[in-house]
A and B are shown apart, each in its own frame.
Chain A
Amino acid sequence: MATLNITYDGMSADVPVELERPVTDDDVRRIATELVRSGGVPGMHLTGLSNEAFRYFVVDRFRGARGEERIYLRPKVPFGAR
Protein backbone atom coordinates (compact mmCIF):
# COMPACT_ATOMS: atom_id res chain seq x y z
CA MET A 1 0.00 0.00 0.00
CA ALA A 2 1.30 3.43 -0.95
CA THR A 3 -0.06 6.89 -0.28
CA LEU A 4 -0.61 9.16 -3.23
CA ASN A 5 -0.84 12.87 -2.47
CA ILE A 6 -2.39 14.98 -5.19
CA THR A 7 -2.12 18.77 -5.27
CA TYR A 8 -4.29 20.43 -7.89
CA ASP A 9 -5.75 23.91 -8.28
CA GLY A 10 -4.97 24.85 -4.67
CA MET A 11 -6.42 21.64 -3.25
CA SER A 12 -4.43 18.77 -1.79
CA ALA A 13 -5.33 15.35 -0.42
CA ASP A 14 -3.88 11.94 0.43
CA VAL A 15 -5.35 8.78 -1.04
CA PRO A 16 -4.20 5.19 -0.39
CA VAL A 17 -3.39 3.20 -3.52
CA GLU A 18 -2.55 -0.47 -4.08
CA LEU A 19 0.38 -0.76 -6.47
CA GLU A 20 1.20 -4.30 -7.60
CA ARG A 21 4.27 -3.20 -9.54
CA PRO A 22 6.58 -0.21 -9.78
CA VAL A 23 4.71 2.58 -11.54
CA THR A 24 6.11 5.19 -13.91
CA ASP A 25 5.46 8.90 -13.57
CA ASP A 26 2.98 8.67 -16.45
CA ASP A 27 1.21 5.83 -14.62
CA VAL A 28 0.91 8.06 -11.57
CA ARG A 29 -0.60 10.86 -13.68
CA ARG A 30 -3.14 8.45 -15.20
CA ILE A 31 -4.05 6.92 -11.83
CA ALA A 32 -4.50 10.37 -10.33
CA THR A 33 -6.73 11.52 -13.19
CA GLU A 34 -9.03 8.52 -12.76
CA LEU A 35 -9.10 8.86 -8.98
CA VAL A 36 -10.03 12.54 -9.11
CA ARG A 37 -12.71 11.94 -11.76
CA SER A 38 -14.25 9.08 -9.81
CA GLY A 39 -14.42 10.97 -6.53
CA GLY A 40 -11.80 8.75 -4.93
CA VAL A 41 -9.81 11.70 -3.61
CA PRO A 42 -11.30 13.44 -0.56
CA GLY A 43 -12.53 16.93 -1.40
CA MET A 44 -11.47 16.68 -5.01
CA HIS A 45 -14.28 15.21 -7.13
CA LEU A 46 -13.86 16.73 -10.59
CA THR A 47 -15.78 14.60 -13.10
CA GLY A 48 -14.74 16.75 -16.07
CA LEU A 49 -11.01 16.72 -15.32
CA SER A 50 -9.06 16.85 -18.57
CA ASN A 51 -6.71 14.05 -19.62
CA GLU A 52 -4.04 16.76 -19.83
CA ALA A 53 -4.63 18.20 -16.35
CA PHE A 54 -1.51 16.60 -14.86
CA ARG A 55 0.58 16.62 -18.04
CA TYR A 56 3.21 19.02 -16.67
CA PHE A 57 2.99 17.90 -13.04
CA VAL A 58 6.01 16.49 -11.21
CA VAL A 59 6.07 13.14 -9.40
CA ASP A 60 8.09 13.10 -6.17
CA ARG A 61 8.67 9.85 -4.29
CA PHE A 62 9.58 9.59 -0.62
CA ARG A 63 9.71 7.02 2.15
CA GLY A 64 7.69 7.85 5.26
CA ALA A 65 8.95 7.48 8.83
CA ARG A 66 8.00 3.76 8.86
CA GLY A 67 9.36 3.08 5.41
CA GLU A 68 6.01 3.41 3.69
CA GLU A 69 5.92 4.65 0.10
CA ARG A 70 4.60 8.17 -0.41
CA ILE A 71 4.09 9.57 -3.90
CA TYR A 72 3.40 13.27 -4.46
CA LEU A 73 1.92 14.60 -7.67
CA ARG A 74 2.45 18.36 -7.68
CA PRO A 75 2.69 21.42 -9.94
CA LYS A 76 6.11 22.44 -11.16
CA VAL A 77 8.26 24.92 -9.26
CA PRO A 78 10.12 27.15 -9.64
CA PHE A 79 8.44 29.10 -12.35
CA GLY A 80 10.81 30.10 -15.09
CA ALA A 81 9.77 33.62 -16.05
CA ARG A 82 12.48 36.22 -16.33
Chain B
Amino acid sequence: MRIIFCGVGAIGSQAAVLCRNLEASLVFIDFDRVESKNLLAQAYVKPSVGKNKAEALKLQFLNLHGVKTESFGVRITRDNVEALCGGADLLVDCFDNQDSRVLLSEFARRAGKPLLHGAVSADGTFGLVRWDERFTPDAEETIGQATCEGGAHLPLLGLLAATLARSVQDFAKQGSRRDALVNLSSVVPTSGT
Protein backbone atom coordinates (compact mmCIF):
# COMPACT_ATOMS: atom_id res chain seq x y z
CA MET B 1 0.00 0.00 0.00
CA ARG B 2 1.26 3.46 -0.93
CA ILE B 3 0.07 6.27 1.35
CA ILE B 4 0.89 9.80 0.25
CA PHE B 5 0.94 12.60 2.83
CA CYS B 6 0.38 15.89 1.02
CA GLY B 7 1.89 18.52 3.29
CA VAL B 8 4.10 17.43 6.21
CA GLY B 9 3.87 20.42 8.52
CA ALA B 10 2.21 20.40 11.92
CA ILE B 11 -0.53 17.93 11.03
CA GLY B 12 1.10 15.83 8.33
CA SER B 13 4.44 15.22 10.03
CA GLN B 14 2.81 14.12 13.29
CA ALA B 15 0.19 11.95 11.57
CA ALA B 16 2.90 10.27 9.47
CA VAL B 17 4.88 9.40 12.59
CA LEU B 18 1.75 7.71 13.99
CA CYS B 19 1.40 5.63 10.82
CA ARG B 20 4.93 4.20 10.97
CA ASN B 21 3.68 0.78 12.07
CA LEU B 22 1.70 0.20 8.87
CA GLU B 23 2.90 -2.22 6.22
CA ALA B 24 2.95 0.52 3.65
CA SER B 25 5.20 2.89 1.79
CA LEU B 26 4.81 6.35 3.29
CA VAL B 27 5.33 9.13 0.78
CA PHE B 28 5.91 12.74 1.84
CA ILE B 29 5.29 15.73 -0.41
CA ASP B 30 6.08 19.29 0.70
CA PHE B 31 7.92 22.16 -0.96
CA ASP B 32 8.58 24.05 2.29
CA ARG B 33 11.72 24.08 4.42
CA VAL B 34 12.04 23.47 8.15
CA GLU B 35 12.39 26.65 10.19
CA SER B 36 13.48 26.82 13.81
CA LYS B 37 9.99 27.79 14.95
CA ASN B 38 8.62 24.59 13.34
CA LEU B 39 10.48 22.49 15.90
CA LEU B 40 7.84 23.43 18.48
CA ALA B 41 4.82 21.93 16.74
CA GLN B 42 6.15 19.68 13.99
CA ALA B 43 7.96 16.35 14.10
CA TYR B 44 11.38 17.79 13.23
CA VAL B 45 14.65 18.07 15.13
CA LYS B 46 17.42 20.69 15.08
CA PRO B 47 19.54 19.04 12.31
CA SER B 48 16.45 19.33 10.06
CA VAL B 49 16.46 23.13 10.09
CA GLY B 50 17.03 24.44 6.59
CA LYS B 51 16.21 21.12 4.92
CA ASN B 52 13.17 20.49 2.79
CA LYS B 53 10.40 19.13 5.05
CA ALA B 54 9.68 16.02 2.96
CA GLU B 55 13.38 15.17 2.75
CA ALA B 56 13.91 15.88 6.43
CA LEU B 57 11.05 13.62 7.50
CA LYS B 58 12.35 10.82 5.29
CA LEU B 59 15.78 11.18 6.92
CA GLN B 60 14.25 10.99 10.40
CA PHE B 61 12.33 7.84 9.49
CA LEU B 62 15.67 6.19 8.69
CA ASN B 63 16.20 6.14 12.47
CA LEU B 64 13.16 3.90 12.87
CA HIS B 65 12.92 0.20 12.12
CA GLY B 66 11.83 -1.06 8.73
CA VAL B 67 9.73 1.88 7.58
CA LYS B 68 9.61 2.44 3.84
CA THR B 69 9.48 6.10 2.81
CA GLU B 70 9.81 8.34 -0.22
CA SER B 71 10.00 12.11 -0.44
CA PHE B 72 9.25 14.77 -3.01
CA GLY B 73 10.31 18.29 -2.11
CA VAL B 74 8.00 20.05 -4.53
CA ARG B 75 4.74 22.00 -4.52
CA ILE B 76 1.75 20.09 -5.91
CA THR B 77 0.31 21.88 -8.93
CA ARG B 78 -2.20 21.08 -11.65
CA ASP B 79 0.74 20.14 -13.88
CA ASN B 80 2.32 17.58 -11.58
CA VAL B 81 -0.51 16.25 -9.41
CA GLU B 82 -1.08 13.24 -11.66
CA ALA B 83 2.62 12.32 -11.71
CA LEU B 84 3.03 12.76 -7.96
CA CYS B 85 -0.25 11.29 -6.74
CA GLY B 86 -1.32 8.90 -9.50
CA GLY B 87 0.29 5.91 -7.78
CA ALA B 88 -1.40 6.46 -4.42
CA ASP B 89 -3.60 3.87 -2.74
CA LEU B 90 -4.52 6.56 -0.22
CA LEU B 91 -4.03 10.33 -0.26
CA VAL B 92 -3.87 12.25 3.02
CA ASP B 93 -4.44 15.99 2.75
CA CYS B 94 -2.56 17.90 5.44
CA PHE B 95 -2.15 21.15 3.52
CA ASP B 96 -2.48 24.55 5.18
CA ASN B 97 -4.38 26.31 2.43
CA GLN B 98 -7.65 25.92 0.64
CA ASP B 99 -6.34 26.13 -2.93
CA SER B 100 -4.12 23.08 -2.49
CA ARG B 101 -6.92 21.15 -0.78
CA VAL B 102 -9.28 21.87 -3.65
CA LEU B 103 -6.66 20.91 -6.25
CA LEU B 104 -6.06 17.59 -4.50
CA SER B 105 -9.77 16.96 -4.07
CA GLU B 106 -10.43 17.57 -7.76
CA PHE B 107 -7.65 15.16 -8.70
CA ALA B 108 -8.84 12.46 -6.28
CA ARG B 109 -12.41 12.64 -7.57
CA ARG B 110 -11.26 12.55 -11.17
CA ALA B 111 -8.84 9.66 -10.58
CA GLY B 112 -11.05 7.72 -8.16
CA LYS B 113 -8.46 7.87 -5.37
CA PRO B 114 -9.46 7.68 -1.70
CA LEU B 115 -8.60 10.98 -0.02
CA LEU B 116 -8.72 11.87 3.66
CA HIS B 117 -8.55 15.49 4.85
CA GLY B 118 -7.22 16.73 8.17
CA ALA B 119 -7.41 20.38 9.16
CA VAL B 120 -7.63 22.78 12.07
CA SER B 121 -9.45 26.05 12.51
CA ALA B 122 -7.47 29.28 12.39
CA ASP B 123 -7.54 29.71 16.16
CA GLY B 124 -6.29 26.16 16.74
CA THR B 125 -9.21 25.12 18.95
CA PHE B 126 -10.99 22.76 16.58
CA GLY B 127 -10.09 20.16 14.00
CA LEU B 128 -11.79 18.10 11.36
CA VAL B 129 -11.04 14.67 9.88
CA ARG B 130 -13.21 14.06 6.87
CA TRP B 131 -13.18 11.80 3.83
CA ASP B 132 -13.37 13.53 0.49
CA GLU B 133 -16.83 12.25 -0.41
CA ARG B 134 -18.18 14.35 2.47
CA PHE B 135 -15.70 17.21 2.16
CA THR B 136 -16.56 20.77 1.22
CA PRO B 137 -13.80 23.28 1.98
CA ASP B 138 -14.99 26.16 4.12
CA ALA B 139 -14.61 29.63 2.68
CA GLU B 140 -12.02 31.90 4.29
CA GLU B 141 -13.30 34.37 6.84
CA THR B 142 -10.69 36.85 5.73
CA ILE B 143 -8.09 36.61 2.97
CA GLY B 144 -4.73 35.37 4.23
CA GLN B 145 -6.13 34.46 7.62
CA ALA B 146 -3.52 33.95 10.34
CA THR B 147 -2.49 30.39 11.05
CA CYS B 148 -1.88 28.83 14.42
CA GLU B 149 1.90 28.80 14.41
CA GLY B 150 4.21 27.92 17.27
CA GLY B 151 3.47 25.47 20.02
CA ALA B 152 0.45 27.10 21.62
CA HIS B 153 -1.98 24.69 19.99
CA LEU B 154 0.14 21.57 20.18
CA PRO B 155 -2.29 19.50 22.30
CA LEU B 156 -5.09 20.04 19.76
CA LEU B 157 -2.72 19.40 16.85
CA GLY B 158 -1.57 16.19 18.50
CA LEU B 159 -5.15 15.05 19.04
CA LEU B 160 -6.05 15.84 15.45
CA ALA B 161 -2.97 14.06 14.10
CA ALA B 162 -3.80 11.01 16.22
CA THR B 163 -7.40 10.99 14.99
CA LEU B 164 -6.23 11.36 11.41
CA ALA B 165 -3.72 8.53 11.84
CA ARG B 166 -6.42 6.33 13.38
CA SER B 167 -8.63 6.90 10.35
CA VAL B 168 -5.70 6.05 8.04
CA GLN B 169 -5.01 2.88 10.01
CA ASP B 170 -8.67 1.82 9.95
CA PHE B 171 -8.77 2.35 6.20
CA ALA B 172 -5.54 0.40 5.67
CA LYS B 173 -6.67 -2.53 7.79
CA GLN B 174 -10.45 -2.65 7.23
CA GLY B 175 -11.23 -0.29 4.37
CA SER B 176 -13.43 1.83 6.67
CA ARG B 177 -13.80 5.57 6.16
CA ARG B 178 -14.62 7.34 9.40
CA ASP B 179 -14.94 11.10 9.94
CA ALA B 180 -14.49 12.95 13.22
CA LEU B 181 -14.82 16.35 14.81
CA VAL B 182 -11.95 17.08 17.18
CA ASN B 183 -11.69 19.51 20.05
CA LEU B 184 -9.87 19.50 23.35
CA SER B 185 -12.76 17.93 25.24
CA SER B 186 -13.80 15.26 22.76
CA VAL B 187 -13.27 13.38 19.53
CA VAL B 188 -16.71 12.88 17.98
CA PRO B 189 -17.16 10.36 15.16
CA THR B 190 -19.72 11.91 12.82
CA SER B 191 -20.17 9.50 9.95
CA GLY B 192 -18.47 6.97 7.81
CA THR B 193 -18.51 3.35 6.87
- Residues of chain A touching chain B, judged by Cβ–Cβ distance below 8 Å, are 5, 7, 9-13, 56, 58, 60, 62, 70, 72, 74-82
Contacts and interface: CB of A to CB of B under 8 A. Distances in A.
Given A12-B188, A60-B181, A77-B138, 10 more contacts: A7-B183, A10-B125, A13-B185, A62-B191, A76-B122, A77-B119, A77-B126, A78-B96, A81-B122, A82-B97
Instruction: Using C-beta atoms within 8 Å of the partner chain, give the interface range for chain B.
Output: 35 or more
A30 to B, nearest CB: 19
A5 B189 CA distance: 13
B55 to A, nearest CB: 22
Name the prevailing secondary structure of the B interface residues: loop
Interface of B: 95-99, 101, 117, 119-123, 125-128, 137-141, 143-148, 156, 181, 183-186, 188, 190-191
A12 B125 CA distance: 10
B105 to A, nearest CB: 11
Given A58-B138, A60-B190, A62-B191, A77 B127 contact: yes
